[in-house]
């Protein structure tokens, strides 16, 4: 394809063609994408972004596909993964880590080294950049509690350091979510020191509880809706009788009603349809507008 050949000529990094989105999303659903590019470094990323923006080519930064729902029609554009942005540097209680680093891998590695504060992330299957973007969290903690600063690429291609205050972290949102033209390059975390055995035991205990209460045996993207203040999305959905309800192979989990699972060959369009139907029914019955945590990409 001409666009991909042009990108290859820029020598910005690895270029993959005709991507099957089922292999790049935790839902294992969606059509195909024109191409995927893995930039070598920041300069390559800037070159790539300038090219796609100046040529009005549809594009998206894709982490580990853990919070997106692609439709079944092909994504006629370029996906960008920051897998090479994976540096890790430890300095006292500060941890500098690239946006492409696996969040689960980081949490386990730091826990084994006796760092505490990231235990909540040991079961969140995303990239560090995606976690910062979403202000990912669990167990009454989130990235906003531990991020000191975030290095970003601005829309005019400057590299800028944003403080925790600048990031406007709130429940499952951040400055980056409100300003998607900014790209997270790396973040600096502040953690505390603790006993590795105690930290790892807490992670193991939580893992056992997740296995019992969440449908980890099926492809999913974690919690579909944010919990409304003072209540739980799963409770509202369960009360509506939606546990086990399905559209095609997209189904509401029997274990946890705030999870939608792929029972085998779910269509991205069916997952979206199910999410929107549940949102509509909850609004109709309870007058509550559930906020969707996942992003629909067409």
Residue 54 is among the residues annotated as catalytic for this protein:
no
Q: What are phi and psi of 255, to 5 degrees?
A: -80, -40
List strands edge to edge, sheet with 13-20: 13-20, 32-39, 75-80, 59-61
Residue 149 is among the residues annotated as catalytic for this protein:
no
Q: What are phi and psi of 266, to 5 degrees?
A: -65, 140
Tokens of 76: 């006629």
Q: For residue 105, how far is the Cα from the chain centroid?
A: 14
Burial code (b: 16+ CB inside 10 Å, e: under 16) for 219-238 equals bbbbbbbebbeeeebbebbe
Tell me the C-alpha distance between 39 and 42, whole Å: 8
Burial code (b: 16+ CB inside 10 Å, e: under 16) for 47-79 equals bbbebbeeeebebbbbbbbbbbbbbbeebebbb
The one catalytic residue in 66, 127, 223, 253 is 223
Residue for token pair 């509509």: 280
Residue 161 is among the residues annotated as catalytic for this protein:
no
Q: Which residues contact 74 (CB under 8 A, 6 or more apart)?
A: 31, 32, 33, 34
The one catalytic residue in 22, 102, 127, 172 is 172
Query: Rg of the chain over CA atoms, in angstroms?
Result: 19
Tell me the C-alpha distance between 232 and 235, whole Å: 5
Q: Which residues are catalytic?
A: 172, 223, 293
């Amino acid at each position: 394809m001409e666009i991909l050949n042009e990108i290859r000529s820029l020598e910005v990094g690895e270029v993959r063609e005709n991507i099957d989105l089922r292999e790049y999303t935790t839902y294992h659903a969606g059509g195909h994408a024109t191409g995927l590019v893995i930039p070598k470094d920041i300069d390559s990323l800037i070159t790539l972004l300038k090219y796609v923006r100046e040529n009005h080519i549809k594009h998206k930064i894709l982490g580990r596909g853990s919070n997106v729902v692609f439709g079944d029609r092909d994504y006629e554009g370029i996906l960008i993964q920051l897998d090479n942005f994976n540096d890790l540097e430890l300095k006292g209680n500060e941890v500098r880590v690239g946006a492409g680093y696996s969040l689960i891998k980081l949490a386990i590695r730091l826990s084994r080294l006796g760092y505490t504060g990231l235990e909540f992330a040991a079961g969140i299957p995303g990239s560090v950049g995606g976690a910062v973007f979403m202000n990912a969290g669990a167990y009454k903690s989130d990235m906003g509690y531990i991020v000191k600063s975030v290095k970003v690429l601005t829309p005019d291609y400057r590299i800028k350091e944003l403080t925790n205050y600048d990031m406007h972290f709130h429940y499952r949102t951040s400055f980056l979510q409100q300003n998607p033209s900014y790209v997270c390059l790396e973040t600096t975390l502040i953690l505390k020191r603790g006993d590795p055995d105690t930290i790892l035991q807490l992670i193991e205990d939580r893992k056992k509880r997740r296995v019992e209460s969440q449908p980890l045996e099926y492809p999913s993207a974690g919690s579909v809706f944010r919990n409304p203040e003072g209540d739980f999305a799963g409770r509202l959905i369960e009360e509506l009788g939606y546990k086990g309800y399905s559209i095609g192979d997209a189904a509401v989990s029997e274990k946890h009603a705030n999870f939608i699972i792929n029972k085998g060959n779910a269509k991205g369009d069916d997952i979206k349809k199910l999410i929107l139907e549940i949102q509509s029914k909850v609004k109709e019955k309870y007058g509550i507008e559930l906020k969707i945590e996942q992003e629909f990409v067409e």
